[in-house]
Amino acid sequence: MTRQFFLTHSPINATFTKNSSDFVVNEIPLYPFSGEGEHLVLHVRKKDMTTWDMLQYLSEVSGCKVRDFGYAGLKDKEGMTTQYISLHKSFEAKLANFSHEKIKILEKTYHNNKIRHRTLKRQPLFCTS
Question: Which positions are annotated as active-site residues?
Answer: 76
Distance CA 110, CA 34 (A): 7
Beta-bridged to residue 124, according to DSSP, are 25
Beta-bridged to residue 34, according to DSSP, are none
- Short-list 33, 27, 53, 49, CA closest to 117: 27
